[in-house]
Amino acid sequence: MAACVLALSLLAVLAGCAVGGGSRPARPTGQATGAPGEARPGAAAGSGLDVRAENARPGAECGLSQLGPQHAVEGWTDRVSIRPGDPVRLFTSTTAPSLTVSVFRTGWYGGRTCRLITTAGPLTGAVQAQPTHAAGTNTISAAGWRPTTTFATGTWPPGDYLMRLDASDGNHRYVPLTVRGPGAAGRVVILNAVTTWQAYNAWGGYSLYHGPRGFADRARIVSFDRPYDYGDGAADFTGNEQPLVALAERLDLPVDYETDVDLHADPHLLDGARAVISLGHDEYYSPAMRAALTAARDHGTNLAFLGANAVYRRIRLDASPLGPNRLETAYKVAQEDPFYGHDDAQITANWPSPPRAAPESSLTGAMYQCNPVHGDMVVYRPQSWLLAGTGLTAGARLPGLIGSEYDRVDTAYPTPRPIEVLAHSPITCRGSADHSDVSYYSAPSGAGVFDSGTSAWVCALADVCGPGASGPAIQVPITQITTTLLTAFAAGPAGTAHPAGAATPADDRAVAAPGENN
């Protein structure tokens, strides 16, 4: 499938996140939100990040003024995530004589989306060794680089971080890092989709999508031991994730920050969590990751999938020389996987495909369909609690909000019930007419599960989706819907407070014409 990443500079995000200036979005009123005690037993916010106290600190500008040519300055860390106090090594390469590293936490600081945590340098610049290339899997690794510096992180609060590499010749790049909280109980977990970031990363010439000659010589295994070649070095974070982080912290939600690699490593990571927020592009899932999300839902944890195409690719994670879970395997074609025919549980085909087919709809509620598309989102069920306060009516259009990937409720595949469709948007993809659906279902555990049906939802929060999907006519209602969603999901099992109705187009046709084959 074509990549649908948003390689946007953080400067655009900084400008776009100030919805209505520095004020906080209005919280929804007149709806049942549930009491804190309605979450799983023992799920209280307790220790961890105090968002209000953190965001009361002074903010800082963290944008990039000049990228410079490729490889002018770049870097990566030996961990995708840490706990406060864990040392983290930074590896950099630059053509400049020296560089300074500025470490920023992202959030909502009175209208700014960054806070300066610390700096290091000036540090001596150096061009590092050429990466290695593993024939057969086309894995590119910079594990032979020498570390530039090591950070002590004992005073770093949980959050999503950007290290800005400031080379002495004026060029810049980012390096992303997640700092985890002490536990998810009672909190809204914002899940950074680092496995998807890495899948699209073509640094060194190979990603899971292509090599120098296209799909046939793509990488089958990619390494976290290398820089990201897109998103100004921050991969998908600035366009597809950071706008949601800014909104969640503006709302003073009890948030926790984790990566999907952490989800893979710890089956109890989500114990007691109020909600898990899957961000704008969350495609690559190991069986352990999916099992952890499913178990969380089945214990009452709400799930929000704010991008289409979630939980679509099945992967394996293995160790690199720098530590566990640093190598990501995805053959995509089952017959190419060395496990094919003798250990099908290990095969890295797509989740809906055999062997061991398990369509993602049993978890997300909807199925990924196609790309690329661009179309208007069309409101289908304006009476939904999620659309309260938006002023949207049946048939209202949000221009350009569908695309470039989309999901649809397809009851030919496993589909949780009851499920309702909030928006049902006609589109055409690769010559075929279809629909994109925004959907919500309530699970037997009381959890609520939301699927945005489009990969443009998160970027719309910051008005950085690009031409055709921009402006207040989109940003204002999407921000209101997301505010309603996050506030209710933070309060406890939303499926109990807001049970879904059987309200899909197929259901409505059945009521209008009993006996119709749906």
Q: How many angstroms separate the CA atoms of 224 and 203, rounded? A: 11
Length reported for the chain: 518
pLDDT in tens, 413-433: 999 999 999 999 999 999 999
Among candidate residues 256, 279, 281, the one with its CA nearest the CA of residue 266 = 256
Q: ω into residue 359 within 30 of 0, thus cis?
A: no
Q: ω into residue 361 within 30 of 0, thus cis?
A: no
At 16, the pLDDT band (50, 70, 90 cuts) reads very low
* Beta-sheet pairing, 323-329 with 316-320: antiparallel
Tokens encoding 53: 């106290």
pLDDT at 295: 98
pLDDT in tens, 195-224: 999 999 999 999 999 999 999 999 999 999
pLDDT at 365: 98
Q: How many angstroms separate the CA atoms of 282 and 257, rounded? A: 15
In SS3 terms, 411-460 reads as CCCCCCCCEEEEEEEEEEECCEEEEEEEEEEECCCCCEEEECCECCHHHH
At 27, the pLDDT band (50, 70, 90 cuts) reads very low
DSSP state letters, 243-275: HHHHHHHHTT--EEEEEHHHHHH-TTTTTT-SE
At 18, the pLDDT band (50, 70, 90 cuts) reads very low
Asked if 196 and 134 count as a contact pair (C-beta separation under 8 A), the reply is no
pLDDT at 291: 98
Phi/psi at 454 (5° precision): -150, 150
pLDDT at 29: 37
pLDDT at 9: 36
pLDDT at 15: 35
Eight-class DSSP state of 325: E
pTM of the model: 0.91
> Is the C-alpha dihedral spanning 158, 80, 485, 26 positive or negative?
positive
Q: How many angstroms separate the CA atoms of 146 and 412, rounded? A: 53
Residue 118: Cβ-neighbour burial (10 angstroms; 0-12, 13-18, 19+): middle
pLDDT at 468: 75
Q: Domain spans of the chain?
A: 59-180
Asked if 244 and 12 count as a contact pair (C-beta separation under 8 A), the reply is no
At 4, the pLDDT band (50, 70, 90 cuts) reads very low
pLDDT at 51: 96
pLDDT at 146: 98
Question: Which of the four CATH numbers 2.60.40.1930, 2.60.40.1180, 2.40.50.100, 3.40.50.300 does domain 59-180 have?
Answer: 2.60.40.1930
At 510, the pLDDT band (50, 70, 90 cuts) reads low
Phi/psi at 151 (5° precision): -100, 135
At 17, the pLDDT band (50, 70, 90 cuts) reads very low
pLDDT, average across residues 275-287: 97
Among candidate residues 425, 433, 424, the one with its CA nearest the CA of residue 376 = 425
pLDDT, average across residues 343-354: 95
pLDDT in tens, 469-506: 788 999 999 999 999 999 999 999 999 999 999 888 87
> Is the C-alpha dihedral spanning 20, 24, 26, 32 positive or negative?
positive
pLDDT, average across residues 432-457: 97
> Is the C-alpha dihedral spanning 53, 55, 56, 61 positive or negative?
positive
Q: How many angstroms separate the CA atoms of 279 and 190, rounded? A: 8
If you average pLDDT over every residue of the chain, what do you get? 90
Numbers of helices and strands, H then E, in the chain? 12, 24
Asked if 457 and 272 count as a contact pair (C-beta separation under 8 A), the reply is no
Mapped onto helix, strand or coil, the DSSP state of residue 214 is strand
Asked if 367 and 414 count as a contact pair (C-beta separation under 8 A), the reply is no
Whether residue 225 is predicted with pLDDT greater than 50 in this model: the reply is yes
More confident residue, 52 or 9: 52
pLDDT, average across residues 170-198: 97
Tokens encoding 290: 């999916």
Among candidate residues 54, 155, 164, the one with its CA nearest the CA of residue 110 = 54
